[in-house]
A and B are shown apart, each in its own frame.
Chain A
Amino acid sequence: MVISNTTAEASTKNISCTFASRYVRTALPRYKMPENSIPKDAACQIINDELMLDGNPRLNLASFVTTWMEPECDKLIMDSINKNYVDMDEYPVTTELQNRCVNIIAHLFNAPVGDEETAIGVGTVGSSEAIMLAGLAFKRKWQQKRRAEGKPCDKPNIVTGANVQVCWEKFARYFEVELKEVNLEEDYYVMDPKKAVDMVDENTICVAAILGSTLTGEFEDVKLLNELLTKKNEETGWNTPIHVDAASGGFIAPFIYPDIEWDFRLPLVKSINVSGHKYGLVYAGVGWVIWRNRDDLPEDLVFHINYLGSDQPTFTLNFSKGSSQIIAQYYQLIRLGFEGYKNIMENCRDNAKMLTEEVEKTGKFKVVSKDVGVPVVAFSLKDSSKYTVFDISENLRRFGWIVPAYTMPANAQHVAVLRVVVREDFSRTLGERLISNLQTVLNEMESHPIPVSTKSAHVTIDSENTQGDKVITKKDVTETQTEITKFWKKLVDRKKTNAVC
């Protein structure tokens, strides 16, 4: 008789269900790489579960970046996820698709290229990289010009509005260019063209205008800037060019505001950047920069390498990167075409209008975003004495919405706004639900006034209680709870954002 030895531990790791295994009992490593491997299902499940506690991207109304694409495109993205974009020789079709996107976008911006002529431009990881490349090109051209004239070139500067996105400040600090900012004022939250042109001097490498300010979505008047700058150039002979940061607006203006002249139709505009991952309707990770023509991109900034096997010209800050977003951008351009993009932008605009009207109807807010611009609704509280926009923002999180609140830059720091970005996937039903939740939050805060938080120190407070008697009110349970959680959250946030970017 054969006695078969049943091993008790034969219920091996392979057959136990993930949540029955020992892997869910141990804490995940945080500081040191673990010594041993774990099964892939366990790894996947554990990480997946922890990620459930992230915000829902589609309810993140703070971001302009696309959060939804068609499933067909998802399939294309997954198929190309292992293609390293920079291997131009190995993946010629992918490279070709990038070139087609550059051509299509250049024509969309009315670049002065012939119908079958190749445009000058490149795909980047986002508008930050695009702006750095464009800025580098301007800096180099200016230096060459100054050296030819025998003048010093050690103090370049760039003129923009104080409403610029942080990447301009990064460019200025990392590439040692002085940033001359035109300050904003209350009710005028973009760069004033006249003030900008007054700030231009012989060391200015370019003036940067924004089509679609991050703060309020407004388009700056590039046409006026062009006229004023042309006149100044005629007097001074400095030939200062313009760069348009169309990160958000570049994929909006051509479709719903075709009459606004902001692109290469204006002769002083030498380069434009646009984010493919904002209203280009692609997931995060792709931007485009287009130059007017070959002369605007100095040849000595372009590198030629051969160690992947053949000559490859490269002018980007990043080298290896995925190809998926480039392919996804091409998919969107041909799938939607002009009419598709137009329809989507019109929908966004209408939904933004609806939101604006409903917000105004509550009677408590002042809307600072304009009708013409990026479909964004930015609004501030008329009366911030009892509660501030920061409080509203925190309370909306309970419903799942992420609506950011922030203060304006100089010289409007006393103004704080809430901002809702209307993306492609923000339908009308979602808009109505947001309004209803907002109303609920307002009602709550009206009936339970909470202590003034430290953040709202920036915000103008209707001074009723500031100077007078200190009325000591006994805090009720809810108030104490809110206070404790706020303190705790601040403590946790401080710990979290430590040391690492």
Chain B
Amino acid sequence: MTLSKAATQSDASVHSTFASRYARVCLPRFKMPDNSIPKEAAYQIINDELMLDGNPRLNLASFVTTWMEPECDKLMMDAINKNYVDMDEYPVTTELQNRCVNMIANLFNAPLGETEVAVGVGTVGSSEAIMLAGLAFKRRWQNRRRALGLPTDNPNIVTGANVQVCWEKFARYFEVELKEVKLSDGYYVMDPQKAVDMVDENTICVAAILGSTLNGEFEDVKLLNDLLEAKNKETGWDTPIHVDAASGGFIAPFLYPELEWDFRLPLVKSINVSGHKYGLVYAGVGWVIWRTKEDLPEELIFHINYLGADQPTFTLNFSKGSNQIIAQYYQLIRLGFEGYKNIMENCQENAKILKAGLEETGRFTIISKDIGVPLVAFSLKDNSIHNEFEISDMLRRYGWIVPAYTMPPDAQHVTVLRVVIREDFSRTLANRLVTDIEKVLTDLDALPARFSAKLAANDENDDQVSRKKTALEMQKEVCSVWKKFVDERKMKINGVC
């Protein structure tokens, strides 16, 4: 008789993930764990923790695309293991990038023949695109100065104070001085006249923004071009323009084709646009286009051969995924001109609806203009008792992420809330947002003012009456102190970046 030994402990792999011991153990945070764990457990644990992230589609702070068609998802997954930089191994993917560059260059009216190849490159985003464009300007300026025997140690760039941080990064990392044209109350973009006044012999370029991050406004590039041309004639400095069309580049050609901002203006030498904003692709792709070959100094291009064949490369990043490039091409041919136009018109309509709904509450001033990126930036008419930051916090309870921020100098006293209308922000969502904002306003009105505001009011009255705090006030105070404490700790744990 054979005695079969029944294993009392079933094989660990049989356990359902949540029955296994992996759900009981804390995930490692500082040291790599010594042992492997089953892939299902790893997947489940990470997935569960990620549930506590915000919902990307309700993130109204970001311009970056949060929805694409499932067919495109399939294309992206299939390409996820292709390293884009292997041009020799993946010639079709490289070809697709070239086609995108050509299409975008033609969209921006680059001075090209019918079948002429445009000069441009795909990047990881507008930050990289801007750094490449800035580098090209800096090098051209240095070459010109050296040829004239003049010093090249103090390059500067003229922009508005409303620039996105990547310009400041460019300036600091590449040692170029940033000369910012200050904003003023009611005028939140760069004033072309003031900008041209700031230009001197060390200016490598003037950067205009098509679609300011703060309120979506388009800067008047045509006026800048005219004024700068006049100045160039007097001084002979030949200062060029770069247009940061990160958001606006995929909006203006479809909604405002008469607006002259691109290569139609002779001083515009390079343009960058984010594929992952209104190019309607997921995060991770940008484009920079140069007017002609001359605007991109040859010495900045590297030729390497250690992957087997000659590859010219002018990007800051080397290896990266191919899927966003392929997705961009998909969008360009899938939608075509009419598709993009329809989508942008919808966004514009929904922005109008939202704006009307907010104006109806009677409590807000709208800062954003009608012409520009489809977003609605608004601030409270009266923010003495409650401010925009509180509205932003309370909207989170409903799931919405609506950021509140202060304007840069010289308009720091102005605080705005900003809602970005993306492709996937439909009218139903817009109506719901307005309803929720009204609810938040009602809730806030019922609450007493922030303690500090009250204190300031008390100081003004110079009343030494010490008020006994109500229970609600105590709670609020304790909560805000605790929140600040937690935020500070979180900031520290975040380490760098």
Contacts and interface: CB of A to CB of B under 8 A. Distances in A.
Interface of A: 28-38, 40-41, 43-44, 46-48, 50-51, 53-55, 57-58, 60, 62-63, 65-70, 72-85, 87-97, 99-100, 102-104, 107-108, 115-116, 118-122, 125-129, 132, 136, 154, 165-167, 169-170, 173-176, 214-215, 275, 277, 283-285, 297, 300-303, 305-323, 325, 327, 330-331, 333-341, 393, 402, 404-407, 493, 496-501
B399 to A, nearest CB: 12
Contact of B318 (A96, A126, A303, A320): A126
A337 B34 contact: yes
Contact of A334 (B42, B106, B114, B493): B42
B125 A51 contact: no
A320 B404 contact: no
B103 A31 contact: yes
A70 B103 CA distance: 36
Contact of A65 (B114, B153, B168, B319): B319
A58 B83 CA distance: 11
B99 A29 contact: yes
Interface stretch (B4-12, B60-68, B439-447): B60-68
Q: Which of B64, B175, B496 has the most CB of A within 10 A?
A: B496
Contact of B306 (A44, A88, A214, A499): A214
B169 A317 contact: yes
B208 interface: no
A91 B494 contact: no
Interface in B68-87: 68-69, 71-84, 86-87
B154 to A, nearest CB: 12
B305 A90 contact: no
B319 A72 contact: no
A330 B302 contact: no
Contact of A55 (B90, B214, B282, B401): B90
A301 B173 contact: yes
Ranked nearest first, the 8 interchain pairs of A and B with the lowest CB-CB distance are A404-B308, A309-B403, A335-B42, A43-B334, A44-B71, A340-B36, A37-B339, A72-B43
B166 interface: yes
Given A214-B306, A320-B125, A321-B284, A126 B319 contact: yes
Given A103-B30, A129-B317, A334 B37 contact: yes
B47 A79 contact: yes
Interface string B143-172: 000000000010000000000111011001
A453 to B, nearest CB: 13
A321 B166 CA distance: 14
Interface stretch (B226-234, B325-333, B344-352, B362-370): B325-333
Most buried by A among B86, B118, B166, B487: B86
Given A62-B308, A93-B49, A104-B28, A500 B98 contact: yes
Interface of B: 27-37, 39-40, 42-43, 45-47, 49-50, 52-54, 56-57, 59, 61-62, 64-69, 71-84, 86-99, 101-103, 106-107, 114-115, 117-121, 124-128, 131, 135, 153, 164-166, 168-169, 172-175, 213-214, 274, 276, 282-284, 293, 299-302, 304-322, 324, 326, 329-330, 332-340, 392, 401, 403-406, 487, 490-497
Contacts of A303: 165, 168-169, 172
A63 B326 CA distance: 20
24 contacts: A31-B103, A31-B114, A33-B106, A40-B72, A44-B75, A47-B333, A60-B86, A63-B83, A67-B81, A76-B46, A82-B65, A100-B27, A126-B319, A305-B165, A311-B491, A320-B274, A334-B42, A336-B36, A338-B34, A393-B308, A497-B311, A498-B117, A499-B118, A501-B315
Contacts of A94: 50, 53
A316 B317 CA distance: 12
Given A92-B53, A284-B83, A308-B403, A84 B102 contact: no
Contact of A402 (B36, B82, B89): B89
A43 to B, nearest CB: 4
Contacts of B65: 82
A176 B299 CA distance: 13
Nearest to B173: A136
Majority SS of interface residues in chain B? mixed
Nearest to B33: A337
A3 B248 CA distance: 53
B238 to A, nearest CB: 23
A331 B43 contact: yes
Given A406-B305, A406-B306, A115 B30 contact: yes
Nearest to A143: B175
B347 to A, nearest CB: 17
B282 A82 contact: yes
A436 to B, nearest CB: 22
A341 to B, nearest CB: 8
A284 B283 contact: no
Given A33-B336, A166-B304, A104 B32 contact: yes
Contacts of A50: 92, 96
A72 B333 contact: no
A320 to B, nearest CB: 5
